[in-house]
Amino acid sequence: MISEEYLYAIALRECSQIGDINFHKLVRTFGSAYEAWKHAKKEHKRMEGIGQKTVSDIGNPTHLKFAEEELKFCEKNNIQIKLRHLQETPILLNECTDAPSILYQKGNLHESLQKVSIVGTRNMTSYGKQFIEDFFKTSQSSQYASVSGLALGVDKEVHEQSIRSKKPTIAVLAHGFQYLYPAKNKKLSEKILQEGGALITEFSSSRKPDRENFIQRNRIVAGMSPSTIVIETGFGGGSVSTAAFANDYNRDVFALPGKITDLQSQGCNQLIFHNKATAISTIKDLIDMLGFHKPLEKIEELFPHSETALQLSDNQKVIYQAIKENPQISLDDLTHEIKISSHKILPIILELELLGKVKSFSGRQFIAI
């Protein structure tokens, strides 16, 4: 039964060593979450790269009890549960090797509409705000849905402008549905649903908005759409990680350039400078390149590519060496190899990518260059 598969999928994903990549290996090998729950612990040798430690938590009755409570919560609160291995999650997102095994959803994802992900800083300036207003005004006649992260600043403005323009908008949360972060956006989240949009998350209902969740959330924002637009962001801003994921997934990335003296533009300028994003010259050209109208020839970046030689920090050296010694190592395996949590590794890998020391592939696998 499908409901039983939901139960065992939630329990399996709750196991301590089972991330999305390992979950996918398990259901691909055993055919379902139910069969993996019943047999993986004894038959783990059927799967390459999965050892006894990985499956040690499978079968824990605590996780099954947790899943039962989760199903009750979702039913009570009208939350849809979507399983990737049953092809219930968004098609474009499913192309990503590390796509979430489970999505919790309120509202409508509008699968027939093209998506565009639009992200940026919480400290939005009038420059960024004006660009968002002009973008939605200029693309008024086009049919699409926007995707963003429901944060303050750029994300909030994107959702609000979408609603004003009668465009469905999808907010990707970094926590479970027992919470709403930031609380200031509660009314906005309700308006998103009222106007035909959606709230989605990969996190179970009781998961709090912990810091490490936000970078993990950003891969969904990037994976949902064929294109990601970065409006404003500083050095090391969360939107830079969204752009990095979009590049990993071979998606188009566009960035709004700004003055080199403006802190909120420095992240965008760096993405353009390192050929990680195409510079936005005019909104008309951007709309054409998004495919909303007849595509035009791609504009050139504003800044030339330049090799940057810098002394690596201690953490950069550790991660670079581990990747060099283990070509095409996955994020899960890298985390175990060097005993550093994934949310700390990802920003450093992005730095190494920008320095030309590391190359990433879909599924968050890496090689040293």
74 vs 105: CA distance, rounded Å: 9
**Long-range Cβ contacts of 180-185 (<8 Å, 24+ apart):** 181/209, 182/151, 182/152, 184/152, 185/150, 185/152, 185/156
pLDDT in tens, 43-83: 877 777 788 888 889 999 999 999 999 999 999 999 999 99
Please determine, for residue 297, whether its predicted confidence score (pLDDT) is greater than 80.
Answer: no
Please determine, for residue 10, whether its predicted confidence score (pLDDT) is greater than 90.
Answer: yes
pLDDT in tens, 82-130: 999 999 999 999 999 899 999 999 999 999 999 999 999 999 999 999 9
pLDDT in tens, 215-246: 999 999 999 999 999 999 998 888 999 999 99
Neighbouring C-beta atoms of residue 281, cutoff 10 Å = 13
Instruction: Tell whether pTM > 0.85.
Output: no
Helices assigned H by DSSP within 274-330: 283-290, 314-325
Please determine, for residue 303, whether its predicted confidence score (pLDDT) is greater than 70.
Answer: no
pLDDT in tens, 323-338: 888 888 888 888 888 8
Neighbouring C-beta atoms of residue 367, cutoff 10 Å = 14
DSSP string, 118-170: EE--SS--HHHHHHHHHHHHHTTTS-EEEEE---TTHHHHHHHHHHHTT--EE
Please determine, for residue 143, whether its predicted confidence score (pLDDT) is greater than 90.
Answer: yes
Note the pLDDT of residue 307: 41
Per the structure block, which two tokens stand in for 109? 């994802």
Instruction: Report the share of the chain in percent with pLDDT over 90.
Output: 69
Note the pLDDT of residue 316: 87
Residues facing residue 198 across a β-bridge: 107, 170
